[in-house]
Amino acid sequence: MPERSGAGKVALVTGSTAGIGRAMALALAAEGFSVVLNGRRAEAEAKAALSEVRSAGGDENSCIYARADVSLETGREALFEAVRARFGRLDVLVNNAGISTEGRRDMLDLTEEAMLRVLRTNLIGPFLLSSRFSDLLMNGEGARYMVNISSISAYLPSVNRADYCLSKAGMAMMTKLFAARLAPYGVRVFEIRPGIVRTDMTAPVAERYDRLIDAGLLPLGRWGEPGDVARALVAVVRGHHDYSTGEVINVDGGFQISRGAL
């Protein structure tokens, strides 16, 4: 059996107790990585995810859960200390934690408090967390990666989710900034940009998306699944894109293809 790409390596996936984050954590464990799961819920509530990821890795000691809110400085510091104390290294940082606009309110009705809530979790927190972990990434050995999980909302304006769109557009630039800063140290940085993926976040509007997909919105004609995003991440950590950095990988069923008549 060929050696798994993550053997002896450590990966942190923020927001990884459900949905896309959980699927990515499972995929990394299957690749042989020791995985740090993260979320805001108590460890007892993350028990199922923890057990599942440990089973995927085949080693009960290869996965830990670090409860931390990446939007808070105290949370970011606690997460860093948990990784440093347990493993002393980090090879893959996946910035996945994110929230959406509360109530999908009109952009003209957004309050400063509501905007900051989204921006702190989706952009400010991941940026500062990435800065905090940069020493471990830069001083590591072998291939190291930072992967930011963005959204088609990085370029697609939704006037009832303006704060979310702004946060994801900011993450696109964050990817380029860290790619430029960390390239001399051998760290590759990517943005994975999912489209319409079946998760708890999209559940409230699932019927609407069903109708749009049935009407031909997506060239590939189906919902995305968390596993689709996880497989894109695996391609990165296996080194299949190692002459690239700062790049966007679209996982959107072809949504970004312009199909307007000329």
- The domain spans of the chain are 10-246
pLDDT given for residue 126 in this prediction: 98
Query: Which residues lie closer than 8 Å to 103 by C-beta, 6 or more apart?
Result: none
Asked if 43 and 67 touch (Cβ cutoff 8 Å), the reply is yes
Place of tokens 């002896």: 8
Strands 34-39 and 63-67: parallel
Sequence letter at residue 23: A
pLDDT given for residue 60 in this prediction: 81
For helices 162-182 and 125-138, what crossing angle results, to 10°? 20
pLDDT by 10-residue block (mean), the chain, 262 residues: 78 97 98 97 94 90 95 98 97 97 91 97 98 97 97 96 97 98 98 96 92 95 98 98 98 86 50
CATH node for 10-246? 3.40.50.720
Residue 164 annotated to the active site: yes
Catalytic residue among 164, 185, 209, 243: 164
Asked if 92 and 33 touch (Cβ cutoff 8 Å), the reply is yes
pLDDT given for residue 1 in this prediction: 42
Asked if 34 and 57 touch (Cβ cutoff 8 Å), the reply is yes
In whole angstroms, give the CA distance from residue 34 to residue 260. Answer: 46
pLDDT given for residue 133 in this prediction: 98
